[in-house]
Amino acid sequence: MQFQKAVRPLRGEISVPGDKSISHRAVMFGAISEGTTEVTNFLQGADCLSTISCFRSMGIEIKNTPERILVHGKGLHGLSAPSAVLDCGNSGTTTRLISGILAGQNFSSTLTGDASIQKRPMGRIINPLTQMGASIRSIPENGCAPLAINSHPLHAISYLSPVASAQVKSCVLLAGLYADGKTSVTEPALSRNHTELMLKFFGADVASEGLTASVLPDPDLHGNLVRVPGDISSAAYFIAAALIVPGSEVLLKNVGINPTRDGMLRVCRAMGADITLLNEQNSGGEPVADLLVRYTPSLSGTVIEGELIPTLIDEIPIIAVLAATANGTTVIRNAEELKVKESNRLDIMVNELTAMGVSLEGTDDGMIIEGGKPFHGAQIDSRLDHRIAMSFAIASLAAETPTEILRAGCVDISYPTFYQDLARLQA
């Protein structure tokens, strides 16, 4: 797919699709609750459709229409044994969260996913689940999927997680619903807290204090109405585009601004970006706002590290693009987790931005970007990673010559209408 330097500003209003993390959880928690869960603004991306299909395979009726999805939950112990291997597609969230639920069932299951999922580390969930007494193993014995999970009673644990990962935290908390006491997880830095907020909203006894979240077993979970906010990780591409294309002014409606997810906004502010939050509200425990983003001619470099990292982990590729256009040096540290996402996003961003003539250097856990100099287009392979494809589509708006993105269709994972929305804002 071909992209050109922007010849006119981005203007107009846009509602980005529903939040991916929240959409997954609404289906999962709806499935293990009693009664019906209605989900509006559900993300119809391939990842969330993988979650729907896994729960359908376990006997949960899910009606999916463009307006809403209805999940007819069967309670904590109502899932039935799947007749085939559960296919999590490209979705790490599906694989890791569902493993926590499956560990607590009285049936055996096997789950797998695409080539990328089969390379991603699952030891990070196999270890705590094994400590809880679960029977879970990597079938190829390399710490990756396919995973085989057998029925075994679960014990409560207090888990000190080596990584700030909401997928790990959520997996352990979900298994904790089936354990014999209070299960807690302490992280090195706070990761997104959608599981804690939504489980509580569905009736679980969840407590959060500092870096520790805990859950009591055997709650009465009730179906609920979940209004999914727009995904800040999807909004991030248009925030960056509006900031870097001269004359732009874009209103992004109804975007989730949960403080465990809003690192992109904090970084943009530190770079001097013109972003105003309007109409701030609360939607089912999740804060949302409209974001008015205006072209900012002199963005400046910044330092991104430490506790900020988990709050913007999926936005680092587009932040790297923004940094390439900003004056001065941007340093990204403590971001080694990026190496084990859908692709090795650290290496790919460094290699492909270098191919576009950006001056940057990869480090063990991040990158150092010398921004503010002109760069050119290149041929970029997405490696089937949706966030790589979208980041380079936006980079191309600032590049002096055309860019070609190979395998650009992978945006289907999290933002199926991304290219149409980008074209609409440029019309």
Residues making up the binding site for phosphoenolpyruvate: 20, 92, 120, 167, 345, 387
Q: Is 314 a residue of the active site? A: yes
Closest separation between CB of residue 424 and ligand S3P, Å?
25
Question: By the 8 A CB rule, do 90 and 164 touch?
Answer: no
- Per CB under 6 A, which of residues 138..177 are in contact with ligand S3P? 165-167, 170
Contacting ligand S3P within 348-367 (CB under 6 A): none
- Of all residues in the shown chain, the one whose CB is closest to ligand S3P is 21
Q: Which of 93, 112, 325, 426 is the binder for ligand S3P (CB under 6 A)? A: 93
Asked if omega into 217 is within 30° of 0 (cis), the reply is no
Bridge partners of residue 346, in order along the sequence: none
- Specify the DSSP element, H or E, that contains 293: strand 286-294
Q: Is the peptide bond before 146 cis (omega within 30 degrees of 0)?
A: yes
Query: Which helix (H) or strand (E) segment is 207 a member of?
Result: strand 206-209
Q: Which is nearer to ligand S3P, 286 or 337 (CB)?
A: 337
Question: Where is the binding site, in residues?
Answer: 20-21, 25, 92, 120, 165, 167, 314, 341, 345, 387
Q: Does 87 bind ligand S3P (CB under 6 A)?
A: no
Subset of residues 10 to 39 that bind ligand S3P, contact rule: CB under 6 A = 21
Q: Rounded to whole angstroms, how far apart are CA atoms 56 and 51?
A: 9
Q: Count the site residues for ligand S3P by CB under 6 A.
A: 11
Q: In the complex, what is the shortest distance from the CB of residue 337 to ligand S3P, in angstroms, rounded to a whole number?
A: 6
Distance (Å, rounded) from C-alpha 58 to C-alpha 158? 29
When binding is defined by CB under 6 A, the residue of 221, 309, 313, 405 that contacts ligand S3P is 313
Catalytic residue (one of 262, 314, 381, 385): 314
Judged by DSSP in three states, 314 sits in helix
Task: State how far the alpha carbon of 210 is from the alpha carbons of 166, 185, 189, 213, 216, in Å.
Answer: 14, 11, 9, 8, 18
Q: Which of 57, 94, 184, 191 binds ligand S3P (CB under 6 A)?
A: 191
Q: Under the phi-then-psi rule, with left for phi > 0, alpha for psi from -120 to 50, and beta for the rest, what region is 121?
A: beta
Q: Which residues bind ligand S3P (CB under 6 A)?
A: 21, 93, 165-167, 170, 191-192, 313-314, 337
* Catalytic sites, residue numbers: 314
